[in-house]
Amino acid sequence: MTTALPDLPEGYYLDNFRRLLDTVVDRYDDLLSPDDRDFVKRFRALNQAPARLLVRLYTRKGPFFRRDKLNYPEIPDLDAALTDLAQSGLVDLSPELTAGELARLLTLAELRRLDWLPDRKAAKAVLLEMLDEWPDVQPASDWQVDIPILLPRHWLTLRRLQLMYFGNEYQSLTDFVLSDLGLFQYEPYSLDRRQRRFNTALEIDQQLALNDLKAEYYQAQENGDRDTLLQLAGDLLRDDWCESIRDRLDRLRNRVGFRLEQWGELDTALALFQTNDQPPARERRCRIDYKAGRYQIAWDTLQQLRDRPRDATEIRFGQRFMPRLARKLSQPVDPDPVHAPIEHRACWPRGNGSVEQLACEHLPDSVWLENLLPLGVFGLIHWDLVFREVPGAFHHPFQQGPADLHDPDFLNRRGTSPQRLYRELTARDARDRIRRHWSAKFGRFNPFVHWAALDETLVLRCFDTVPWEHWVAIFHHLWLDLRRHRAGFPDLFQFRPGQDAGYRFIEIKGPGDRLQDNQRDWLAVFSEAGIPAEVWYVDYA
């Protein structure tokens, strides 16, 4: 099915960029760096053609470009535009670059014509790796390449502008386009101009720095690069990070800590885990102290964790670790009751698809949707709450959800709580909301509703089948930690008219597969709430 896309006006991308720039200057004038200001001044002085060209470049990857790869019918005199950009100081027409940077601009054939190439036979990837070691920086002509190369000078400012506008670094000007084309539909909330996403220049710099560290982390862990990781840990352990990026910072600290723990750097890992209480920090602290024989310290941490568990992983850890640690300290143990899930065995001939699909075919009237079904019901019922316009929730028109969705006080800030929510909401109203939102909001982004996976009949039937108290129990658990509790839901939902509860959740396990922790966590919730859930172990006939 192909639907015709609407035409965009010529130069639409420049309009979009100006919208972004004007918004940022309007909101964050006091937070702009000298470079940012310099850029704004120069850019606003440009004529249309050079301005268009620059924005074209900014929507591409770069950072260097070959002149002969630029071709825009709506900018007829490209060279004149380039000259303007060079005179404005926005583009460097003879930038110095490393051999690696240059090589990325050339095809393999072009590359092999160069005298200084160390290996004429090598594959391009190998060549790039070699050339990346070369420190020399010089203009392309000095590398004996006569293709004109250019470099926009303000990439960092572009990064900062986009960060200020979107509040993140994964959205960009394409979000304007996709929205205009109707490919991405966003809830039309009104924007909040009272509370800004950033309040100091330092926050912006630190968020950029944190994103860099994150990228470095992925790189380092992929390469098994311990030294880089240790150095990274040093940066993360500094105490001059802003409070406003605390959450993101702690998550990275824990990730780096976890990897360092695996690599045997226990001291550094422990230091990282000691900076915060975000799961799994306290669990890891306990385990590291336990292994080091510091049982009393581990015990103290464990008590705090059990007193006030942050999420299901901490509850589970507390239950399992308590007896072990108590034995070491000769403390009396009173093990928590453990819910044993209902288990079944089945033996079916192997099919073409996955074991879940096979089970879905054998179990009548079942669907394989994992968490998409409960999350979809959750999202449809709570649509208005999620998109309620409270200060600080919506900063730009392209958000899938409110900025503070994952903050622990999300509900509090909206003047409610899980208890209050479901005291005031009846099953009839909830059903009505699902129907209303399905037709009124269809296709719009929502952090919980994945439209393509669901259909209205199924969602309503499922809603009607599961008793409202069961939904409420599921929702309560979701609210405890929207980020961590959205995974681990059983594979299948089966309708069973007239039998038992009329439905059941089923987690399918193929040969050799076992329950994961977050799946256990949901099963514990189900067991607590009397929700029918089973684990089926499948063998192939």
Question: Interface residues with DNA (CB under 7 A)?
Answer: 2, 5, 7-8, 13, 56, 59-62, 72, 106-109, 111, 123-125, 168, 170, 174, 177-178, 181, 183, 214, 218, 248, 251, 261-262, 287, 320-321, 324, 354-356, 370-371, 400, 445, 447, 450-452, 486-489, 491, 507-513, 516, 518-519
Q: Which does 523 bind (CB under 5 to 8 A by kind): Mn ion, DNA, none?
A: none
Span interacting with Mn ion, options 94-102, 412-420, 429-437, 484-492, rule CB under 5 A: 484-492
Nearer to DNA, 13 or 505 (CB): 13
Q: Could you write out the DSSP letters of every residue in 307-366?
A: HS--SHHHHHHHHHHHHHHHHHTT----PPP-PPPEEEEEEE---SS-HHHHHHHHSTTE
Smallest distance from the beta carbon of 189 to DNA, in angstroms? 17
What one-letter code names the amino acid at 218? Answer: Y
Beta carbon nearer to DNA, 177 or 460:
177
**Is 157 or 446 the residue whose CB approaches DNA more closely?**
446
- Select the binding partner of residue 248 from DNA, Mn ion, none (C-beta < 5 to 8 A, by kind): DNA
**Cα–Cα distance for residue pair 23/46, rounded to 1 Å:** 19
Residue 400 binding partner per list DNA, Mn ion, none, with a CB distance cut-off of 5 to 8 Å that depends on partner kind: DNA
Is there a contact between 420 and 342 (Cβ–Cβ < 8 Å)? no
CB of 423 to DNA, least distance (A): 30
Q: Work out whether 140 is an interface residue with Mn ion (CB under 5 A).
A: no
Task: For DNA, give the closer residue by CB, 76 or 511.
Answer: 511
Return the number of the residue (421 or 508) whose C-beta is nearest DNA: 508
- Regarding 462 and contact with Mn ion (CB under 5 A), the answer is no
Looking at beta carbons only, is 173 or 508 nearer to Mn ion? Answer: 508
> 3-state secondary structure string, 178-231?
HHHCCCCECCCCCCCCCCCCCCCHHHHHHHHHHHHHHHHHHHHHHHCCHHHHHH
Dihedral angle of Cα 303, 306, 311, 317, to the nearest 10 degrees: 90
Name the token pair of 541.
């006939």
Phi, psi of 128, rounded to the nearest 5 degrees: -60, -40
Rounded Cα–Cα distance for residues 36 and 163 (Å) = 13
Q: Which of 475, 499, 495, 470 is nearest to 485 (CA)?
A: 475
Question: Of 15 and 192, which CB lies nearer to DNA in the complex structure?
Answer: 15
**With b meaning 16 or more CB within 10 Å and e meaning fewer, what string describes 71-99?**
eeeebeeeeebbebbbebebbbeebebbb
Q: How far is the CB of 368 from Mn ion (least distance, A)?
A: 9
Residue 181 contact partner, candidates DNA, Mn ion, none, CB within 5 to 8 A by sort of partner: DNA
- Measured from the CB atom, is 40 or 369 closer to DNA? 369
What token pair was written down for 103?
A: 């090589």
Q: Min. distance of Cβ 508 from Mn ion in angstroms?
A: 4
Find the shortest distance in angstroms from Cβ 352 to Mn ion: 18
Q: How far is the CB of 84 from DNA (least distance, A)?
A: 19
Q: Which is nearer to Mn ion, 368 or 387 (CB)?
A: 368
Q: Look at residue 11 and give the partner it binds from Mn ion, DNA, none, a contact being a CB closer than 5 to 8 Å depending on partner kind.
A: none
Q: Is residue 525 within the footprint of Mn ion (CB under 5 A)?
A: no
Cβ at position 38, least distance to DNA in Å: 25
Q: Give the span between the Cα atoms of 320 and 346, in whole angstroms.
A: 29
* Residue 312 in contact with Mn ion, rule: CB under 5 A: no
Give least dist CB 343 to DNA, A: 12
Our finding on whether 358 is near Mn ion (CB under 5 A) is no
| Nearer to DNA among residue 429 and residue 517 (C-beta) | 517
Q: Among Mn ion, DNA, none, what does residue 540 contact (CB within 5–8 Å per kind)?
A: none
Tell me if 508 contacts Mn ion by CB under 5 A: yes
To DNA, the closest distance from the beta carbon of 142 in angstroms equals 21
Query: How many CA atoms within 13 Å lie on the side-chain side of 373?
Result: 24
Beta carbon of residue 498, minimum distance to DNA (angstroms, whole number): 28
For residue 387, which of 404, 401, 407 has the smallest C-alpha distance? 401
| HSE, side-chain direction, 13 A CA sphere, residue 251 | 9
Report the site for Mn ion in 487-506 (rule: CB under 5 A). Answer: 491
Instruction: Let me know: does 493 contact 373? Beta carbons within 8 Å.
Output: yes
Bridge partner list, 536: 344, 508
Read off φ and ψ for residue 539, nearest 5 degrees: -115, 155
**CB of 248 vs DNA, minimal distance in Å:** 5
Query: How far from 240 is each of 23, 243, 244, 321, CA to CA, in Å?
Result: 29, 9, 12, 34
Rounded to the nearest whole angstrom, what is the least distance from the CB of residue 129 to Mn ion in the complex?
40
27, exposed or middle or buried, with CB in 10 Å at 0-12, 13-18, 19+? middle
By C-beta, is 95 or 374 nearer to Mn ion? 374
Residues 6 or more apart whose CB falls under 8 angstroms from that of 367 comprise 360, 373, 458, 492, 493, 494
Judge contact between 189 and 394, C-beta under 8 A.
yes
Alpha-carbon distance of 425 to 531, in angstroms, equals 20
Residue 207 binding result from DNA, Mn ion, none, given CB thresholds of 5 to 8 Å by partner type:
none
Q: Which is nearer to DNA, 174 or 416 (CB)?
A: 174
Tokens found for residue 331: 């403390």
Rule CB under 5 A: say whether 370 interacts with Mn ion. Answer: no
Binding site for Mn ion (CB under 5 A): 491, 508
